[in-house]
């Protein structure tokens, strides 16, 4: 949602100034007791001139993390939480000042709370674990006034390195043979520095390998290392062996015998196996009144008489957990009562609430600048046809007002505003979707061995849109597609059948007049079918939350009309022309190809700070049976998730400057090509308040010139020029405040225009004329939105 008038009240400005004063002007040692000092900061240096491993900087970061307590939190050299604590300090245990002091503030961290000797010992132990068996760690404290700093210095030499790795082979038990076979993938390498963390990871790796060889009762704790450092020359021999206390159960592999599936389990149910259905070697309990066995077993990868493996266990658990029909999945194993080298598996499936009805009121904010209240009613059935199919039926209605446009403030004198001055709109829609946790296909396909269940999606919908004072539009849609995650980072989405019919009706004279003046836009609004396919590939490493660098890339290929046009060509239809296009059921069908790519990189600093970059590039080309892309497929930029210094869908194309009578009306700027880049630095302020500074740049363009009936160019400067497109970019900067309470993010971004491409050359840089106002030419824009922009 975009607000074009100032909403930052004087009271809000005073509060902001007060916080700035508190952060910078108040004495940070105000409440530090006499004779005490504030723990102001520390530094850790690792000196290892003879260390060939070159790990000094890594060790400094690791040793720094051992310092406890940490100094008071600082931002850009300021300590706002400590300043708030000092400003509102009170000895009372209740009241507003006490609440602000304790909830928003932070008490001073005193130098006396830091046990330097204990921390030095911990640092020395960390160095020892990294192979620096001979190290010394010392500290020096400096106190100036009431502020104390501590410098730790660690002296290290060459680390001990692994000379030889051995595994115990003195026993004929199968576990030792299987243990030896894991060596090929060992994390321990001769010549590497001794590292306790790597040794621990190797135990976990070996345990995982043995778990996949049937050793159900084995655990990493049954493995122990012996390290011999007496071989000399800073070398160490490592021996990995099984503890002597390991039980016989832990040292033998198990196969699976009976597999029981409790398909409608509730806590407290009797575990009796009466009313059991034997289906394909499984004991299905109690019956098929909930989920049919043939559908459920597509998510079960445990097989009778097969070797127990942790891989099959986890695969089964994750696949069944993805079934909408179930809330909880649990698998237990018990040693068979007859054969002591076999396990019986018990799969307990707790059903989710099958049917739900939900109604909610909402505030709708769209990328095209319309915003307003809405209501949404949805019905869900999580097991519609006894195969864990998720049926969703949704009805919604919204009433919206347009707060976008390029201009701000009042309509200029002498400019006639087109259509309805209030620019209102309402929309009614109904849609139904069915998600099936398996591939539905005319061809028989093997069951995919992935932890994420493939989905077949079927959908249909209808919407009625009324832009008061302009037009009404009916949209019908139907889709059939598939969704599959072969790995944690890759998602494939294919919609081979994507049908859409758009019908324009009840247009006003003002809207008709505008379309007549813009034939290119008129063609994009024609009643037409979109008959084609959409393919999407998403790659994301954001599932790995502890990574410093995270990547996201989404590629979309949208095709329409090619198959139908090919069939009509083969069957003898005359070639299409702009005046006589090919039709289906009396209406033109669109023919185009569209490719869009959204790439993002997240660079994480610490726990909450991020530098996020995004590059979006897309192009759509109409050909054959179409002169232009359908209006609903054209690109636009500007708005709260795009270039935040410009109002929604107001930028471009290229350097085109729309006439004043349209800047204060509903008409958006659209194009065939889009280029958008963003850089945003996100940082914590305090509590659930986060801040951001950003720079946005981008524009849209057309592939070819657009002419009116008189041969005049409609949008001068709107065509893409590969040699000059960088000069066409709209550029904005700004800052934002986000209220992030994990499940909900309220975002307020203030955008400041830097370069306006629609202005004459030499006048496009408007930052020098910045007046800090929310009204007037090239003013700031306040964006209020839900969620992060990207």
Say yes or no: 573 and 434 in one domain. Answer: yes
Question: Angle CA(531)–CA(535)–CA(540) in degrees, nearest 5?
Answer: 155
Give the domain-ending residue among 290, 318, 351. 351
pLDDT at 537: 97
Q: Does residue 13 form part of some domain? A: yes
Provide CB contacts within 8 A for 744, sequence distance 6+: 786
**Strands 745-755 and 730-740: what pairing?**
antiparallel
Cα-Cα-Cα-Cα dihedral sign, residues 277, 283, 286, 290? negative
pLDDT at 412: 40
* Stated pTM of the model: 0.76
Tokens standing for residue 518: 């813009």
pLDDT at 20: 44
Q: Does residue 600 form part of some domain? A: no
pLDDT at 24: 43
Say yes or no: 670 and 756 in one domain. Answer: yes
Nearest to 738 by CA among 697, 688, 772, 671: 688
CATH of the domain at 312: 3.10.20.310
Tokens standing for residue 113: 């709370």
C-alpha span between 299 and 312 (Å, rounded) = 11
Give the domain-ending residue among 195, 213, 242. 242
| pLDDT classification of 4: cutoffs 50, 70, 90 | very low
For residue 506, pLDDT beyond 90: no
Between 626 and 153, the more confident residue is 153
For residue 446, pLDDT beyond 50: yes
pLDDT in tens, 124-137: 999 999 999 999 99
Dihedral angle over CA of 335, 340, 342, 348, nearest 10: -10
Q: Does residue 519 form part of some domain? A: yes
Say yes or no: 11 and 146 in one domain. Answer: yes
Tokens standing for residue 736: 């934002």
C-alpha span between 558 and 29 (Å, rounded) = 62
pLDDT at 11: 41
- What percentage of the chain reaches a pLDDT higher than 70? 89
Lowest mean pLDDT among 179-188, 439-448, 618-627: 439-448
pLDDT in tens, 317-351: 999 998 999 999 999 999 998 888 999 999 999 99
pLDDT at 16: 45
pLDDT at 731: 95
| pLDDT classification of 164: cutoffs 50, 70, 90 | very high
Say yes or no: 237 and 204 in one domain. Answer: yes
Cα-Cα-Cα-Cα dihedral sign, residues 431, 436, 439, 444? negative
Question: How confident is the model over 736-747, as a mean pLDDT?
Answer: 84
- What percentage of the chain reaches a pLDDT higher than 90? 49
Say yes or no: 584 and 446 in one domain. Answer: yes
Domain count, the chain: 6
- Rounded to 5 degrees, what are φ and ψ at 730? -85, 135
Say yes or no: 361 and 347 in one domain. Answer: no
Say yes or no: 562 and 687 in one domain. Answer: no
Residue-wise burial string across 28-56, b where 16 or more C-beta atoms lie within 10 A, e elsewhere? bbeebeeeebbbbebebebebeebebebe
pLDDT in tens, 41-88: 999 999 988 888 888 888 999 999 999 999 988 877 788 888 888 888
Q: Does residue 15 form part of some domain? A: yes
DSSP H or E segment with residue 306: none
pLDDT at 519: 67
For residue 645, pLDDT beyond 60: yes
Nearest to 130 by CA among 147, 164, 154, 108: 154
Q: Where do the H-state alpha helices sit in 29-135? A: 56-64, 80-87, 96-103, 116-129
Q: Does residue 147 form part of some domain? A: yes
Do 262 and 275 form a contact (C-beta atoms < 8 A)?
A: no
C-alpha span between 165 and 92 (Å, rounded) = 64
pLDDT in tens, 199-222: 999 999 999 999 999 999 999 999
Q: Does residue 598 form part of some domain? A: no
C-alpha span between 188 and 161 (Å, rounded) = 11
Say yes or no: 229 and 212 in one domain. Answer: yes
Say yes or no: 165 and 148 in one domain. Answer: no
pLDDT at 466: 85
C-alpha span between 726 and 701 (Å, rounded) = 12
pLDDT in tens, 267-297: 766 655 556 888 998 999 988 889 999 999 9
Between 775 and 118, the more confident residue is 118
pLDDT at 13: 40
Say yes or no: 723 and 657 in one domain. Answer: yes
Residue owning tokens 């994301």: 540
pLDDT at 660: 62
Say yes or no: 121 and 22 in one domain. Answer: yes
C-alpha span between 88 and 26 (Å, rounded) = 11
Question: How confident is the model over 539-546, as a mean pLDDT?
Answer: 91
Do 66 and 119 form a contact (C-beta atoms < 8 A)?
A: yes
Cα-Cα-Cα-Cα dihedral sign, residues 171, 214, 307, 212? negative
Between 3 and 204, the more confident residue is 204
- Rounded to 5 degrees, what are φ and ψ at 784? -115, 120
Q: Does residue 604 form part of some domain? A: no
Say yes or no: 581 and 452 in one domain. Answer: yes
* Sequence-separated contacts (24+) of 482-489 with Cβ below 8 Å: 482/439, 482/454, 482/455, 482/456, 482/457, 483/454, 483/455, 483/457, 484/448, 484/450, 484/452, 484/454, 484/455, 485/450, 485/452, 486/448, 486/450, 486/452, 487/450, 488/543, 489/539, 489/540, 489/541, 489/543
pLDDT in tens, 250-274: 999 999 999 999 998 887 666 555 5
Nearest to 702 by CA among 711, 713, 715, 689: 715
pLDDT at 183: 85
- Compute the chain's Rg from CA coordinates: 33
Q: How far apart are the first and last CA of the chain?
A: 16
The domain of 288 spans 255-351
Alpha carbon distances (Å) from 371 to 377, 398, 779, 785: 19, 9, 21, 11
For residue 194, pLDDT beyond 90: yes
pLDDT in tens, 407-425: 333 444 433 444 444 567 7
pLDDT in tens, 689-710: 889 999 999 999 999 887 776 7
Give the domain-ending residue among 155, 170, 196. 155
Q: Does residue 616 form part of some domain? A: no
pLDDT at 416: 40
Helix (H, G, I), strand (E, B) or coil at 117: helix
């Amino acid at each position: 949602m975009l607000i074009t008038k100032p909403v930052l009240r004087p009271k809000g400005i005073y509060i902001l100034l007060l916080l700035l004063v508190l952060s910078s002007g108040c004495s940070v040692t105000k409440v530090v007791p006499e004779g005490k000092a504030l723990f102001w900061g520390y530094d850790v240096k690792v000196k290892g001139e003879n260390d060939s491993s070159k790990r000094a900087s890594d060790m400094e970061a690791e040793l720094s993390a051992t310092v406890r307590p940490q100094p008071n939190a600082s931002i850009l050299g300021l300590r706002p939480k400590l300043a708030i604590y000092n400003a509102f300090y009170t000895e009372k245990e209740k009241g507003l000042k006490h609440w602000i002091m304790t909830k928003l503030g932070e008490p001073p961290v005193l130098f006396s709370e830091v046990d330097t000797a204990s921390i030095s010992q911990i640092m020395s132990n960390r160095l020892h674990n990294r192979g620096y068996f001979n190290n010394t760690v010392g500290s020096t404290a400096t106190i100036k006034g009431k502020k104390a700093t501590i410098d730790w210095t660690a002296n290290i030499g060459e680390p001990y390195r692994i000379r030889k790795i051995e595994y115990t082979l003195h026993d004929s038990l199968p576990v030792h043979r299987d243990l030896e076979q894991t060596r090929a993938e060992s994390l321990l390498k001769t010549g590497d520095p001794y590292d306790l963390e790597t040794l621990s990871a190797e135990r976990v790796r070996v345990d995982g390998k043995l778990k996949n060889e049937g050793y159900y009762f084995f655990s990493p704790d049954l493995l122990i290392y012996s390290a011999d450092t007496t071989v000399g020359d800073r070398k160490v021999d490592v021996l990995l062996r099984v503890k002597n206390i390991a039980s016989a159960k832990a040292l033998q592999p198990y196969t699976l015998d009976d597999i029981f599936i409790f398909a409608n389990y509730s806590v407290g149910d009797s575990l009796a196996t009466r009313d059991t259905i034997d289906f394909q070697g499984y004991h299905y309990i109690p019956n098929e009144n909930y989920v049919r066995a043939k559908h459920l077993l597509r998510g079960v990868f445990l097989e009778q008489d097969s070797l127990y493996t942790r891989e099959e266990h986890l695969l089964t658990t994750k696949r069944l957990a993805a079934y909408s029909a179930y809330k909880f999945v649990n698998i237990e194993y018990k040693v068979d009562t007859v054969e002591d080298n076999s396990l019986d598996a018990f799969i307990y499936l707790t059903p989710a609430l099958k049917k739900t009805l939900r109604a909610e009121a909402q505030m709708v904010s769209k990328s095209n600048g319309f915003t307003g209240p809405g209501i949404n009613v949805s019905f869900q059935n999580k097991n519609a046809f006894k195969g864990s199919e998720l049926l969703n039926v949704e009805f919604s209605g919204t009433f919206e007002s347009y707060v976008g446009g390029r201009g701000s403030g009042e309509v200029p004198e002498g400019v006639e505003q087109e259509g309805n001055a209030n620019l209102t709109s309402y929309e009614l829609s109904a849609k139904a979707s069915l998600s099936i946790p398996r591939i539905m296909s005319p061809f028989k396909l093997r069951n995919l061995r992935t932890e994420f269940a493939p989905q077949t999606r079927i959908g249909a919908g209808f919407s009625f849109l009324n832009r008061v004072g302009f037009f009404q539009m009916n949209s019908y849609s139907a889709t059939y597609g598939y969704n599959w995650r072969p790995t944690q980072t890759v998602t494939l989405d294919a919609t081979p059948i994507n049908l859409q019919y758009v019908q324009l009706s009840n247009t006003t004279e003002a809207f008709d007049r505008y379309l007549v003046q813009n034939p290119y836009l008129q063609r994009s609004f024609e009643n037409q079918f979109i008959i084609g396919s959409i393919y999407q590939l998403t790659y994301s490493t954001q599932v790995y939350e502890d990574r410093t660098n995270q990547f996201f890339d989404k590629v979309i290929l949208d095709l329409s009309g090619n198959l139908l046009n090919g069939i009509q060509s083969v069957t003898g239809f005359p070639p299409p022309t702009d005046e006589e296009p090919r039709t289906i059921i009396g209406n033109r069908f669109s023919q185009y190809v569209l490719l869009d790519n959204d790439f993002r990189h997240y660079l994480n600093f610490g726990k909450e700070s991020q530098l996020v970059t995004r590059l979006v590039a897309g192009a759509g080309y109409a050909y054959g049976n179409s002169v232009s892309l359908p209006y609903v497929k054209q690109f636009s930029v500007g708005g709260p998730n795009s270039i935040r210094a410009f109002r929604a869908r107001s930028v471009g194309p290229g350097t085109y400057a729309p006439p004043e009578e349209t800047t204060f009306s509903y008409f958006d700027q659209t194009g065939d090509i889009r280029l958008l880049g963003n850089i945003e630095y996100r940082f914590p302020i305090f509590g659930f308040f986060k801040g951001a500074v950003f720079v946005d740049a981008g524009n849209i363009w057309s592939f070819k010139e657009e002419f009116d009936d008189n041969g005049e160019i409609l949008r001068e400067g709107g065509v893409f020029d590969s040699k000059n497109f960088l000069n066409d970019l709209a550029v904005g900067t700004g800052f934002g405040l986000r209220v992030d309470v994990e499940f909900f993010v309220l975002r307020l971004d203030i955008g400041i225009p830097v370069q306006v491409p629609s202005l004459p050359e030499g006048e496009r840089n408007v930052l020098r004329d910045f007046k800090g106002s929310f009204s007037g030419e090239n003013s700031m824009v306040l964006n209020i939105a839900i969620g992060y922009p990207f």
